[in-house]
Every structure is written in C-alpha cells, then in structure tokens.
Amino acid sequence: MEKLTNIEIEKQRGYIQKMRLVNERATSSPKAFVETYGCAQNENDSERISGMLFDMGYGFCEDAKDADLIIYNTCAVRENAELRVFGNLGALKHLKAKKPELIIGVCGCMVQQEHIAEQIKKKYKHVDMVFGTHALWRLPELLAEAMENGRAFDVHTSDGEIFEGITTKREKSPLAKIPIMYGCNNFCTYCIVPYVRGRERSRTVDSVLKEVREVAALGYKEVMLLGQNVNSYGNDLSDGISFAKLLEEVCTVDGIERIRFMTSHPKDISDELICVMARNDKICKQLHLPVQCGSDRILKKMNRSYTRDKYLDIVRKVRQAMPDIVLTTDIIVGFPGETNEDFEETMSILREVEYDMIFSFIYSKRKGTPAAEMEDCLSAEEKHQNFERMVAFQNEISKRKNDAYLGRCEKVLVEGLSKTNPKFLSGRTDGGKIVNFRGEEGMTGEIVNVRITEIKTWSLIGEIID
C-alpha cells in the first residue's frame, strides 16, 4: 500500500499557507459552508475538509447564502441522495449569479463516478471545483487553482492514498469519529461503495492510536471507529493485527470511556471479536450487523457470503456472550429478482432476531454494479407496500425492545441540547439508544446516570439521578 509521501503533504502545507495569506488580505474574513451527505465516513471526511479550511483561514457559517465557499460532500449509495445534490446544486446557480466570487465545490463519492463528474462539468458550469474521495487531501491546491484559473478538477481512480496529518475540525459532539480503514473489497452486487471508495486500506495501529490519544487529550470520552467493514481491518498490513486486537489497544487509552465501531460485515465477525467485546467494559454493547435480506437465494445474488443460518448462529453467539447487546441492522427491500416469498423470509428474520432498530432501504439501481443488470420481478408499488409493512412491523418490535428499559438506570453520555426540544438534553446509553432528559447544557460531554421514565419507538425519556 502506498502512503502519501511527506513531499506531497509538504506541498499541500505550502498551498495552505498561500491560501491563508490570500484570506488574511481579504477585507472581511471569508466564510465556508460545508454540507455533508451520506455515512459517518463522509462526515469524518468533512471534518478533515473543515480542518484544512480552518488552517487556510476560513470561518464557517450555517447558511449557504452567507458563504464565500460552498462545498457539498456527496454520497452515491442510492439515487435519492444524488438527486438531492443535483437539486441543491441547481439552486446555487442564482446565488453564484448574484455573487460571482463565490466558489462552489463538489466532492465525495458521487463524483468518483465518471458519468456524474462529466455531467457536473458540462451542465453545472457554476461549479468551480470537483474532487473525488481520493483527492480530498489536495483541497488546498485545488482551491488555489480554482481561484487562479476559474475551475479545478481531480477525479481519478487510484486508491492508494491514506492522508495522515490533516487537521480535523470535529463536529460539536463529545463523540470523535476515527477512521481505521478506507475502501471496501466486498463488492456486494447492489453496492457502489467499492467503486467510489476503492480497495481496503487500513491505517496503521500507531496512526489510529495517535489520533485516539489526541482526542482523549482534548476531552473526548467516546470514539467511533469507522470502516466499511471493520472486521477485515489489518488484512492489508504486514503486522497482521486483527480488529479485535486494535480494539484492545484502544481500550488502553486513558480518558476514553466508550468505544463503538461501524460497520461489521457478518461474514467475518470472529469469535475473538465477540470475546474482546464481552470482556471490555469500555466497548459499548452495541452491534450493527447488516443482514440485508432473510432469503438465502437473494443473499447469494447479493454476494453477501453468508447464509441465513450462519447469520443467525452469529446472533446467537453474540447474545450468549452479551445478553444485553443492542442489535441493529440494514435491510434492502426489492433487490432485483426478490419475490414476495423472499420478502417473507426477511420478515421472519426480523421476527426471529428482534433487532432494536433497523435501517431499511428500497433497492436503488446503481450504474456499473452487477445488480443493475439483473432482472426485476416486483413492481415499484409492490416493493413500497412490502417496505411499509416491514417498517410498521419493526416499529412494534423496536417499541417492545425499548419497553424493557422502563425504570432502568442507564449511563448516558450527554451529547448536548435535544434537536427536537431544546428544553431537554440528549445523549446515548452504552447500547446507543437515544435518551432525552432535563438538565443543564453545561453537562454536555459528561456521563450521567439517568432513570428511564417513558418509552418511545425510537428514543427513551428519563430523569437524572445522583
């Protein structure tokens, strides 16, 4: 695996200095607006984008209308994510016409697809910068280029780089996202991620630990380790350290009290991982284990490399080791060729496992993936009906699972004011359940004891106890 050389990093530092001087000379300090679509990996990329912008002397604003620089960090996983970006980009045309010095950049997964990058280049002439996931670290250079030459593009397909040493400007939250690997090797037949994120590359144990220590020193109590499939962490490293071993290392960092991770592919969840999770109090008892579908026939067509029985075995083992574990999953409804019988198998796996929560999606055709060429049999209407029935069914299960929390005392990490009701604070239990309760905003970042007094389908209500 190739790493970014020091020379390249130094080169970008040079551009950061250059942009800083430009921005310092401006009459008012320039403001950036960064909008993120997609998953936690993208959110972390945006934190790095914001870090570079901060180093370049940018301030930040909450409204795109006030910005001198707008960056959309995009997601390609489903069509509706892309349509939203196109819609929002279209709306920026007027803003750019009124404010010609405004710089608009589009980056992330969506523009790694050649046809999309071309479309933006040709049809969205008000976009000044387009850069893919592999070119994120070149933002300072591209920004300088866009300012000098009008437009800058870097959407290449090489996937060797891991960018270390970039400032991260984290979102306001006591939880720090730490990527441990990039890319994916699994090629599930519906999924665009391996095409837009490239092959798996693991960060070294030292780089991960260095970042964990840094956030601990800044006062973060919780870390979320990120990767498309964290279970294959280290497979590409010569020291051969497993994800379970990495977790144990992270547990030794003083100040970090909670460790979460996302996502685990069921095909390579190991006994070692289950054991390490069970015996370390710092590792949250929460597991997101995407099953996608309950039918073996469809799982095979999806190239998921496990059967329903093998998946259920893993769930059994996990629950045996950690009876209180909070289990969540992802489901795709309407994969090409899925029949109503296949769908009933998904319903029955939901019944059997009783997840705390599911993230469900209607299959979205992604250009260039094998599933895009597969024949479909259910109509869009049938798929929607199945989807709605599944959501209603799962809501009952989620509510029932939450009911078991009534009267319990839970340790909650306070994340800040609740977004839906600012009279309440919001935080998460060890298992990742959202709890809202009355308290002072100054408690943000603390772990408090909360007694659960009321149950909702997706969250819990409680009161702080001493």
Query: Which of ligand F3S, ligand SAH, ligand SF4, none has residue 155 at its interface (CB below 5 to 8 Å by kind)?
Result: none
Q: Which is nearer to ligand F3S, 39 or 312 (CB)?
A: 39
Sort strands 434-437 and 425-428 into parallel, antiparallel or unpaired.
antiparallel
Closest approach of ligand F3S to the CB of residue 197, in Å: 5
Does the protein bind ligand SAH through residue 357 (CB under 6 A)? no
Does the protein bind ligand F3S through residue 85 (CB under 6 A)? no
| Overall size of the chain counted in residues | 466
Query: Which of ligand F3S, ligand SF4, ligand SAH, none has residue 187 at its interface (CB below 5 to 8 Å by kind)?
Result: ligand SF4
**Residue of the chain from 34, 184, 283, 333 that contacts ligand SF4 (CB under 6 A):** 184
Q: Which of 431, 427, 434 is nearest to 412 (CA)?
A: 427
Q: Please, are residues 38 and 109 in contact by the beta-carbon 8 Å criterion?
A: yes
Interface stretch with ligand F3S, choices 74-82, 263-271, 313-321, 350-358 (CB under 6 A): 74-82
Contacting residues for 393 by C-beta, under 8 A, at least 6 apart: 347, 350, 351
**Residue of the chain from 48, 197, 366, 383 that contacts ligand SAH (CB under 6 A):** 366
Does the protein bind ligand SAH through residue 231 (CB under 6 A)? no
Sort strands 222-226 and 175-179 into parallel, antiparallel or unpaired.
parallel
Does the protein bind ligand SF4 through residue 394 (CB under 6 A)? no
**Residue of the chain from 142, 191, 357, 448 that contacts ligand SAH (CB under 6 A):** 191
Q: Is the dihedral of CA 336, 340, 341, 347 positive or negative?
A: positive
Q: Where in 44-196 does DSSP place strands (E)?
A: 59-60, 69-74, 103-108, 129-131, 152-154, 175-179, 181-182
Contacts with ligand F3S in 106-145 (CB under 6 A)?
109
Q: Is 120 exposed, middle or buried (0-12, 13-18, 19+ CB in 10 A)?
A: buried
Residue indicated by tokens 């095909």: 267
**Residue of the chain from 12, 41, 44, 229 that contacts ligand SF4 (CB under 6 A):** 229
Q: Which is nearer to ligand SAH, 6 or 379 (CB)?
A: 379
Closest approach of ligand F3S to the CB of residue 433, in Å: 23
Helix, strand, or coil (residue 231):
helix
Q: Which of 168, 165, 287, 262 is nearest to 220 (CA)?
A: 168
Does the protein bind ligand SF4 through residue 226 (CB under 6 A)? no
Does the protein bind ligand SAH through residue 355 (CB under 6 A)? no
Contacts with ligand F3S in 9-48 (CB under 6 A)?
38-39, 41-42
Q: Which amino acid is at 410?
A: E
Applying CB under 6 A, the residues found at the interface with ligand SF4 are: 184, 186-188, 191, 193-194, 228-229, 265
Applying CB under 6 A, the residues found at the interface with ligand F3S are: 38-39, 41-42, 75-77, 109, 192-193, 196-197
